[in-house]
Structure 1
């Protein structure tokens, strides 16, 4: 019998074909790559927002402090030790702020205005509010994260903690007011401590005022002469307050954290003692 014909099978036919794509693996891989990319972008943003902007603001703060120091050296002192805040432009430094409980190295130059550019320099004064030592409400805003973060820890300010403000001619000592839970029994309790001298539960138009509160961003009245009220007090009952405002919680602007303090003491500077500082600056933690 004749032999059957030889069947030649092409070599390519014997090679395995490309693996079939698994749609589930493809989706998982794609999602993973997207998440990694988003993570890197977020990390870069955090580094920029927290660290790089801090470096930029630190330089601007040093410049503002140097300019203020030079101004105080060259500007004619008032014989009555009165401070004058006329002619301030947006971003101009005019005072220094110390919070001794945050450590001896905590100090910032306060600048005029609360625009984004001003707050990149340091704490900014609400231009329509009082100035240091004046009756009314000396209100100051500051960043909590990035851009120097001067108000990062103001939630840690306790009642009676000092907030010291230095001007060309004076030192003003404000102390944080009692918190809501401390108001009842204040006079018999913490109010007896030596550090709390001059701090009391305020009455009259200020009866609802507390040392710390969290509000919505629309609550603009927290910097009013009577915080939380649109009614101006009479000259005889007007207190001298200081209010600090910042975003809350950290890394968010959904709310505002507010600290209220009252003026308890004023020290006039003595040109014959240029290195003297008030004893309140020694109240470091």
Structure 2
């Protein structure tokens, strides 16, 4: 019978297998650590892209668009139109009594009739900016384009016009949407608006002034009543209006960095200056 002698300090078969196991474990841990670091860097780059780069790119494009519109239109009117009292803007006539959400043919105010042909032509130009929205309270100047698609409108830093709502200055509800976070985030500070704040919408033909009147801090994305011709929440039925008028609706996601709910701000048309 052969005798196996194990010398002191030598390795037997069990020691070799244990050493190999420890090596494989170390290799696995090292690979997992590299994978975690790589994933962390990728996630960091995605966050930087979303929170910084998309804002930078969208704001630059939106700024260039506003400048291009201003060069095309010329400066906004500073003088009072003939026939208006000195220092007083032109205010649309009150709406006649009407049933339902909209107005009947021929019931539009002069300001609405002046912009009707322009509104019709612009409503066919999707993705193209045709107005400039200004909100001094939150230092916002942003182009307005037709439609609310992300790629064509909102992700470019634009404010989007809900296509089935009224145009600026017309009877009904001029409803707009904008990002609250990323891609220029024009409506980031929409929650800071207060009753009485001034909002202007400038087009090729006129400058319309709306005054903030009401807000709804939170509602569901499916609450279509907030952009109806007579805006009124279908969920919080006490929020909104009951009579036809000249309304402005601003909508955005809430809370920040979430699209779970919608924040809504309403205003009323209080003045118009034709070009």
TM surpasses 0.5? yes
Seen in structure 2, the aligned counterparts of structure 1 residues 241 and 32 have a Cα distance that, compared at 3 Å, is farther
Q: Does residue 9 in structure 1 map to residue 10 in structure 2?
A: no
TM-superposed CA distance for 1:10, in Å, is 7.4
**Within 5 Å, which residues of 2 pair with 1:208-219?**
211-219=215-223
- Per the alignment, residue 89 of structure 2 pairs with none
- TM-score after normalising by structure 1: 0.65
Q: Which residue of 2 aligns with 1:199?
A: none
Instruction: Tell me how far 1:30 sits from its aligned partner.
Output: 7.9
1:99 to 127, 135, 154: 135
Aligned length: 219
Are the equivalent residues in 2 in contact too, given 1:120–1:147 (CA < 8 A)? yes
Report the equivalent of 1:141: 177
Q: 1:109 to 1:20 in 2, by over 3 A?
A: same
**Cα deviation per residue 1:89-147 (whole Å; 9 max; x = unaligned)?**
111111111111123xx311111111111112310111111111111110111011111
Aligned mates of 2:258, 2:245 — CA distance in 1? 32
Shift of residue 175 of structure 1? Answer: 1.5
Following the alignment from structure 1 to structure 2, what is the Cα–Cα distance between the partners of residues 8 and 140? Answer: 85
Partner of 2:100: none
Q: TM-score, normalised by structure 2?
A: 0.67
Distance 1:174 1:220 in 2: 21
Deviation, 1:24, is: 11
Match in the other structure for 1:4: none
Indicate which of 200, 203, 208 corresponds to 1:172.
Answer: 208
Tell me what 1:50 maps to: 51
Hey, what's the Cα distance between the residues in 2 that align with 1:159 and 1:248?
20
Alignment of 1:1-285 (within 5 A): 9=7, 12-13=10-11, 18=19, 21=22, 36-73=37-74, 82-83=114-115, 84-88=118-122, 89-103=125-139, 106-116=140-150, 117-121=152-156, 122-178=158-214, 211-228=215-232, 237-269=243-275
Moved more, 147-156 or 216-225: 216-225
Gaps of 5+ in 1: 1-6, 74-78, 179-210, 231-236, 270-285
In the alignment, structure 2 segments of 5+ residues that lack a partner are 75-81, 83-109, 235-242
- For residues 58 and 255 of structure 1, the distance between their equivalents in structure 2, rounded to whole angstroms, comes to 24
- How many Å apart are 1:67 and its aligned residue? 3.6
